[in-house]
């Protein structure tokens, strides 16, 4: 019996160690990690450079209040804004916090620009579990038990320009999107849709905000997913992959949108150890050419999974960008395929109920991708057979 709240539907495995693409359970069994902590471990487990950077910083300075400046924090902010090509950064501890800061920034700007307070977000989106990020999340079933939520969030279907044009008006502070909806089933937004969103925001005086918590840090083959689209947001959030597994969030905004003294804060945000971990992560991604690897391995993975779906007689296709990949397995259950993958020695996750999601480290190689595809083919064929049996029973 666990003393933890039963928040997560957990697979019956206790993981004790990780090394590169592999994790090991308490019985010593190895798994190829195609979950990667759900897009959190871009350079793989226990990368020696990352371990050395964290250990060195832990022995030097772990915490001082943000009332004093530290070198790792200043360096990380400079690095991130340099990679983005604009802005100033606020550092926090999670995706929800990075989005909470983003939503507060948007509110500040909107109030100063004609009292705009509304945020337009997408149906099926996921932005976090705090009250404001939950309100921004376009999944009513997640709202209902916690009502009332903060007001001022409206949701429109993704990739529908007319629906967006119908709601962005003089009360809109921002349009908030994930460039690829992650938890919502790995659904990329089309370039045309993003261009239209940028244009509508510019014409109607709203900000364009990107939630890059899952898509950022090379996941989609560019440092930030927006860099693979025709648009640049006014503000965006990062978290998951940034420190390769230590808790961090970042909100990067055009300089004129930045918080002033006293408007926002975090005790632990941007601490020296996590910033050293993030700097080491960015160094490894750069030095090992992992952006190009994410793009190439993502293509290989999608092509392989498409072939496996066809062979299993499943009508679905794969979706995604870089190494954020979803394979739609309906009418089979994604949970069944994920369980079948675990039996075969692979970790993966579900997304949106009908898709199996693969978010391996960006260090993944061709042999591992091919091994995953083969295991997926077996698990999908098994699940498709069960779905057929269920339908005819
Ligand atoms: C796009 C997106 N935004 C926000 C979050 C929330 O991040 P966290 O769980 O770190 O609060 C997630 C987490 O899955 C996410 O995928």
Is pLDDT above 80 for 392?
no
Tell me what pLDDT residue 1 has: 82
Residue 385 is predicted with a pLDDT of 86
> Are 222 and 322 in the same domain?
no
Closest approach atom of ligand 1 to CA 129: 11
**Which domain CATH number covers 369?**
3.90.1150.10
Q: Which among 287, 318, 349 is the end of a domain?
A: 287
Instruction: Assess whether 114 and 193 both reside in one domain.
Output: yes
- pLDDT in the model for residue 340: 97
149 and 204 co-located in one domain: yes
Q: Which atom of ligand 1 is nearest to the CA of 97?
A: 11
Q: Compute the mean pLDDT over every residue in the chain, rounded to the nearest whole number.
A: 97
Give the tens place of pLDDT for each residue, 336-375.
Answer: 999 999 999 999 999 988 999 999 999 999 999 999 999 9
Residue 152 pLDDT exceeds 80: yes
Count: domains in the chain: 2
Residue of 128, 135, 350, 359 to mutate, ligand 1, most atoms within 8 A of C-beta? 128
Q: Both 298 and 325 in a single domain?
A: yes
Render pLDDT for 53-110 as a digit per residue (tens, 0 to 9). Answer: 999 999 999 999 999 999 999 999 999 999 999 999 999 999 999 999 999 999 999 9
Q: Which residue is closest in CA terms to ligand 1's atom 7?
A: 95
Asked whether residue 10 is domain-assigned, the answer is no
In a domain, 362, yes or no: yes
Pair (199, 283) in one structural domain: yes
pLDDT in tens, 218-263: 999 999 999 999 999 999 999 999 999 999 999 999 999 999 999 9
In a domain, 9, yes or no: no
Read off the pLDDT of each residue in 376-384 and give the average, rounded to a whole number: 95
CA-to-CA dists, residue 152 to 43, 136, 172, 207, angstroms? 39, 9, 9, 15
Residues 351 and 203 in one domain: no
Among 177, 214, 237, which residue has the most ligand 1 atoms within 8 Å of its CB, making it the best to mutate?
214
Task: Please check whether residue 220 lies inside any domain of the structure.
Answer: yes
In 3D space, the residue among 88, 91, 86 whose CA is nearest the CA of residue 72 turns out to be 91
Residue 128, domain extent: 48-287
Could you read off the pLDDT of 320-334 as tens digits, one per residue? 999 999 999 998 999
User: 212 CB under 6 A from ligand 1?
Assistant: no
pLDDT for the residue numbered 274: 98
């Amino acid at each position: 019996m666990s003393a933890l709240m039963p928040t997560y539907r957990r697979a019956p495995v206790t993981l004790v160690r990780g090394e590169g693409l592999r994790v090991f359970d308490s019985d010593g069994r190895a798994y190829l990690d195609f979950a990667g902590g759900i897009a959190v471990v871009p350079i793989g487990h226990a990368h020696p450079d990352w371990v050395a950077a964290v250990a060195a910083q832990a022995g030097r300075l772990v915490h001082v209040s943000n009332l004093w400046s530290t070198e790792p924090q200043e360096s990380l902010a400079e690095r991130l804004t340099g990679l983005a090509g604009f802005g100033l950064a606020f550092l926090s501890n999670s995706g929800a916090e990075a989005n909470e800061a983003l939503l507060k920034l948007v509110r500040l700007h909107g109030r100063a620009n004609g009292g705009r307070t509304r945020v337009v977000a997408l149906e099926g989106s996921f932005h976090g579990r705090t009250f404001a990020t939950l309100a921004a999340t376009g999944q009513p079933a997640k709202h209902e038990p916690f009502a009332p939520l903060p007001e001022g969030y409206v949701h429109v279907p993704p990739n529908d320009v007319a629906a967006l044009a119908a709601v962005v008006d003089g009360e809109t502070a921002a349009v908030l999107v994930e460039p690829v909806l992650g938890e919502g089933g790995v659904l990329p937004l089309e370039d045309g849709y993003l261009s239209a969103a940028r244009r509508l925001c510019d014409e109607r005086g709203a900000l364009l905000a990107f939630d890059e918590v899952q898509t950022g840090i090379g996941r989609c083959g560019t440092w930030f997913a927006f860099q693979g689209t025709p648009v640049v947001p006014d503000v965006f959030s990062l978290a998951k992959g940034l420190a390769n597994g230590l808790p961090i969030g970042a909100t990067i905004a055009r300089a004129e949108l930045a918080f002033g003294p006293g408007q926002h804060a975090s005790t632990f945000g941007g601490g020296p150890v996590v910033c050293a971990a993030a700097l080491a992560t960015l160094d490894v991604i750069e030095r090992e050419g992992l952006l190009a690897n994410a793009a190439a391995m993502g293509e290989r993975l999608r092509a392989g999974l498409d072939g496996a779906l066809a062979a299993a007689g499943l009508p679905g296709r794969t979706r995604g960008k870089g190494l954020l990949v979803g394979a739609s397995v309906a009418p089979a259950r994604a949970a069944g395929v994920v369980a079948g993958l675990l039996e075969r020695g692979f970790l993966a996750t579900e997304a949106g109920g009908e898709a199996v999601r693969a978010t391996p480290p960006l260090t993944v190689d061709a042999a591992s991708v091919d091994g995953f595809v083969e295991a997926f083919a077996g698990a999908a064929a098994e699940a498709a057979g069960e779905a057929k049996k269920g339908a005819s029973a």
